[in-house]
Amino acid sequence: MIKAFRNFMSRRTISAKARNHIMNTFSSYELFQKIRSETESSRQAANRPHEVLYFHKVDDPYSHLTIQCLEQLESSYEITLKFILVGEENLETVHEPSLYNIYCLQDVNRIAPFYNIDFQAHEYPAKELVEKANSILTAAKSDDLIEIANKVSSALWEGDIGTLDKLSSTYFATKAEVKENLIQGNKIRDAKGYYFGSAFYYEKELYWGVDRLPYLEERLAELGAHVITNDNLIDGKEYEINNDDINLNYFKHGIVPSSILADMKKVYPLEANIHLLNGIDFKKGCYVGQEVTSRMKIKNKIPKIIFSLISDRLIEDEDENEDIYANDQVIGKIIAKSDKFYFVLIDMRKVQGEDLKTVNLCSDNSNFVLNQQSWFGY
């Protein structure tokens, strides 16, 4: 029976069409949306909060990146964020542990700068420091856990023994308590169908690492869980919000500020991605520029597009008219920058067939990657 099923799944016969149909049905977007809708209906019927589980492994370099995003996530959405400490992975999920560990460190060193995170570790923390970190987080109170976890992670990966000793004098758990805590954390993680740290779980879906976090945020925003406030209070403290902070947030989220558009001699709404932010009603008639905008939309021909890029270094005096290259060809110019975030106007006619997510983007002084946002449909 098993052999017959294996043959059915592998042979290139008429069964291939049936097999493909079955697999496409199981992986279809319609089924995905249906499951999400049913899950949300179930959550509302049970009056459950938006509970997000976060699995943290202290000696996992990816967890070190992710932990630094938790405070922002928790303050931006009406969620119950549950921090779960986990231990070693199931060995069956890592076929070459030594090679995997080497790659993890190399990968995190590469990607950390693009999330404005300083990570320069080239070796894993000593075992005794890992044990101390787990002890602190096992003993820490839930109200302060995320804040303490940030301090612990930074101290652990920077080899700051003094900070770990100081925290350990306040938060201490026995080896038996730590072992039991990790066992329980692993059980919860395994039950959700996962096996590493640095992962979020929300209503039947897993999101691994900082690069998947925008997909979780997109889902929470669609469900109306985004925090909207008109005051300057954060955690009961008043913060002074200035124009520089606001401007930097525009850059971080890839949204071109109106002040920059006003300074440009000529730019079309679709070139500035306004339609991707639901800023254009294509059913509405009689507005200035309607014919050009509609024609560009219908023909799907946008000659130039403003892209948001992140530089691999901070350069104070970079020329805002400097050329941007892809594979040694000039494809556009820098139009504005703030910190490591840049807006560049790229001529799409010069990048036909190129995937800007994978090509080498650079100026004379910097290398860039796309500042990818969930709303940006490129």
To the question of domain 49-222 being in CATH 1.20.1440.230, the answer is: no
For the domain covering 243-370, report its CATH number.
2.40.30.160
Nearest to 223 by CA among 74, 72, 50, 82: 50
Using alpha carbons only, give the angle 106, 212, 253 rounded to the nearest 5 degrees: 100
Q: Which residues are CB-contacts of 330 (< 8 A; sequence separation ≥ 6)?
A: 323, 324, 350
**What is the pLDDT at residue 27?**
74
pLDDT of residue 11: 57
The domain limits of the chain are: 49-222, 243-370
Strand partners, 207: 200
Closest to 48 in 3D by CA, of 78, 70, 83, 84: 78
Torsion over CA: 116, 117, 120, 123 (sign): negative
**pTM beyond 0.85:** no
CA nearest to 368, candidates 244, 331, 376: 331
pLDDT of 237 reads 53
The region, left, alpha or beta by phi > 0 then psi within -120 to 50, assigned to residue 235 is: left
Q: What angle do CA 20, 22, 24 make, to 5 degrees?
A: 65
pLDDT value, residue 234: 46
Looking up tokens 């009603």, which residue turns up?
281
CB atoms within 10 A of CB 345: 20
226 DSSP 8-state letter: B
What is the pLDDT at residue 233? 47
Rounded average pLDDT per 10-residue block, the chain, 378 residues: 60 63 75 90 93 96 94 89 91 81 92 85 94 96 89 95 95 95 95 91 94 90 74 51 72 84 77 82 69 76 88 74 88 89 90 82 88 77
CB 71 within 8 A of CB 146: yes
Q: What is the pLDDT of residue 228?
A: 60
Distance CA 327, CA 354 (A): 10
Asked whether the beta carbons of 372 and 357 are under 8 A apart, the reply is yes
Q: What 3-state DSSP class applies to 81?
A: strand
Beta bridge partner(s), residue 368: 311, 361
The token pair at 19 is 């097999």
| Alpha carbon distances (Å) from 315 to 19, 112, 312 | 54, 18, 10
Question: Helix H segments across the chain?
Answer: 2-10, 15-26, 29-45, 61-67, 70-76, 97-111, 127-139, 145-158, 161-170, 175-191, 213-222, 243-252, 258-263, 290-299
Distance between CA atoms of residues 117 and 191, nearest Å: 31
What is the 8-class DSSP label of residue 313? S
Q: Are strands 51-56 and 80-85 parallel, antiparallel or unpaired?
A: parallel
